[in-house]
Amino acid sequence: MTKFSSFTAIAFISLSLMSSCNNASKSKPATAGELSKMNKDFAKALNAKDAVAAAYLYTEDATLLPPNEAPVSGRANIEKYWAGAIEGGAFDVSVATTSTGSNGDLGYEIGRFRMSITQPDGKITVEKGKYIELLKRGDDGIWKSIHGIWNSDTLTLK
């Protein structure tokens, strides 16, 4: 075997092993912490009044399915949606994960949320409910929402 052939064979084997290692780490099941990070970061973004950061937690082609409203598709429109919620008085947002799971690069998170909203008359309402996020792991290993839906249990005056 020539030096060139030996080098080519070693390079091919090395690349194959690196590729299989990368695929193995990407396809391993995600932890609950990894899958719930998206919504924990989302709550932080809304509490910081940062619609750009909130929208970045969704893929470019993600869709929101808000209660009693039309679907909101695309990251730019999702940013506008959350900017409207922030301008509309949303604050004190919190989430609690109740269930997660993944298979390869797709996963889900189910949880509960709480959000306070200052109404135009100054009264504060508290919305509590549940949500589900369908998540996709990007090439960078970060889980982002591809579809999110939520609904309210109650809307109460404070």
CA dihedral angle for residue 128, residue 85, residue 55, residue 152, rounded to 10 degrees: 20
Cα 83 to the center of its chain, rounded Å: 17
Among 81, 60, 85, smallest CA distance to 72 is for: 81
pLDDT at 15: 42
pLDDT in tens, 81-110: 999 999 999 999 999 999 999 999 999 999
Inter-residue contact 124 to 116 (CB < 8 Å): yes
Which CATH code of 3.40.50.300, 3.10.450.50, 1.10.357.140, 2.30.110.10 fits the domain covering 31-157?
3.10.450.50
Instruction: State pTM to two decimals.
Output: 0.79
pLDDT at 24: 45
Which structure tokens are listed for 48? 């910081």
| Surface-to-core class of residue 71, CB atoms within 10 Å of its CB (0-12 exposed, 13-18 middle, 19+ buried) | exposed
Output the tens digit of pLDDT for each of the chain's 158 residues.
555 454 444 444 444 444 444 444 456 789 999 999 999 999 999 999 999 999 999 999 999 999 999 999 999 999 999 999 999 999 999 999 999 999 999 999 999 999 999 999 999 999 999 999 999 999 999 999 999 999 999 755 55
Residue boundaries of the structural domains of the chain: 1-28, 31-157
pLDDT at 28: 76
Inter-residue contact 125 to 154 (CB < 8 Å): no
